[in-house]
Each structure stands twice: as structure tokens, then as C-alpha cells.
Amino acid sequence: MQYHQDTARPSSGALSHDAINTMRKNRMYRISLLTLASIVVMQLGVAQPARAADESEPGFVSLFDGKTLTGWEGDEKVFRVENGAVVGGSLAAKVAHNDFLCSTKEYGDFELRLKAKLVGQGENAGVQFRSARIPQHFEVIGYQCDMGLAAGKSIWGALYDESRRRKMLVTGDSEKLLKLVKADDFNDLVIRCEGPHVQIWVNGLQTVDYTEAEAGIARRGVIALQIHGGEPAQAEYKNIRIKVLESN
């Protein structure tokens, strides 16, 4: 059986020029809306918090945006932001006294990761944790992950008790650290606190594995970045990120 299809459109169904133009305008309007929606989605993606966890470090959030001191408090004549790092101290003049830039939030059980550098004649700085400011004073009290030299020995990654027992609680292997620590360059620090257990690593080398036995030692406090008073020196800190542990 033969089948014949008439492809000619009946004249009664022909569209007027006005109708065709209206359809085109509606189509362009829909395309414009879709384009606008796509732009908004893209902008929302860009606007996601810069402090969100890095996919390669699940659970970690940034404490420093690389541009401002938002989330931190301290003397901004001493601390500033340069080239994506928090910089404390001066290479042009002596540092008047110990000074600290403190986080506005407190942390208990956590793992803190950052990069730190110390340059200049002064040979000491550090990262405070589970610490608190001493009222009406420039000092803080609490644990410190030390940085620098003492009597020619490396104290990078040593656990010092700032303004409390005022002594080194644990020191790392100075000979290994002298070879491992990059002078005038950034070094990786990791500080982990779980209950009374404190651990510290410098460039992957564990320097501290300490369990606090003394009663009354705070297990919660601020994070603080130090520049030590004395000869001209500059401490730099960047890529500061933290993961709050479940037991916190």
C-alpha cells in the first residue's frame, strides 16, 4: 500500500510576523534568565567562605585569610599582613618586649597546622596555644611551641610554658633540627592537643609527645603568634588552619 504525506502546511495554521517576533522575544527572555541564573550560581560559588575546609585536609578551616587580621587581636603597630603572611616585629629596630597576636576564639582539643619563619638577629618567637592574655599586660600565659635558637641549640618545636612554670617542658633533637629547619624560610609546624596529650612536629619530625600530669593546667584557650623582645627580628606565619577534634 502506498502512503502519501502532504508536507505543505495548511494556510489556516500559518503564523503571522507579529506572532513569530513574540516567540523570538520570549525565547530570548528565557535565555537571558538562564544566563543570569548561571552567573548568580557562579558568583555564589566564588563567594563561598575563604575559610572553608580544604578538600585535601578534611575538617580543617583557615584562621587567617591572608589579607587582613580579621579573627585576631593585638597591637597592629607590631603585627601586620605582608605577602600573605602575618608578620610580627622589625628588622630595623629592637623589639621592645614580647608581643602576641591572639585569636578571638578559644580552642581546646584540636590539630593546628601552619608555616612559620624567623629572620633577623633576634632568635626567638613561637606559637601559643591553650593560652590566655594576662590582664593589663602584654604577656600571655600558656603553652608555647617555640621557634629559634638558645645557646646555639635549636629550640624549634620545643614545648615551653610561657608565664606560668616558665620552663621548657620538652625539647626536640637539636642536631636533627639544625639540619632540618630551613633558615630564613618557612617551616611546617603541627600542634595537636587531645585532653592532656600534646604533640608537636616540625617539618614532619616529631619534637614533642607530652602528657600533662599537673592538675589545674588549662586545656582550653586562644592561639597566639609571638615575636620575642630583644634584637631586631621578624617572625612570619601563614597558611594557618585548624581542625577541632570531636572530643573538644
What band does 131 get if pLDDT is binned at 50, 70 and 90? very high
**Residue positions counted in the chain:** 248
Least confident of 41-55, 64-78, 121-135, 200-214: 41-55
- pLDDT of 29 above 80: no
Q: Of 91 and 27, which is predicted with more confidence? A: 91
Hey, what CATH topology would domain 61-244 get?
Answer: Jelly Rolls (2.60.120)
- pLDDT of 159 above 70: yes
pLDDT at 83: 97
Report domain extents, the chain: 61-244
What band does 66 get if pLDDT is binned at 50, 70 and 90? very high
Written as nine digits, the cell of 140 is 600571655
Residue 116: CB atoms within 10 A of its CB come to: 24
What band does 45 get if pLDDT is binned at 50, 70 and 90? very low
For residue 108, which phi and psi values (nearest 5 degrees)?
-110, -85
Q: Average of pLDDT values for 171-193?
A: 97
pLDDT at 56: 87
Task: State the Cα angle at 229 between 223 and 233, rounded to 5°.
Answer: 90
Q: Which sign does the torsion angle of CA 91, 97, 103, 108 carry?
A: positive
Distances (CA, A) of 2 to 6, 156, 191: 13, 94, 86
- pLDDT of 5 above 80: no
Give 160-171 pLDDT, tens digit per residue.
999 999 999 999
- Residue 183 · residue 93 · CB < 8 Å: no
- Residue 113 · residue 84 · CB < 8 Å: no
Is the overall model pTM greater than 0.85, yes or no?
no
The identity of residue 132, as a single letter, is A
Residue 19: CB atoms within 10 A of its CB come to: 10
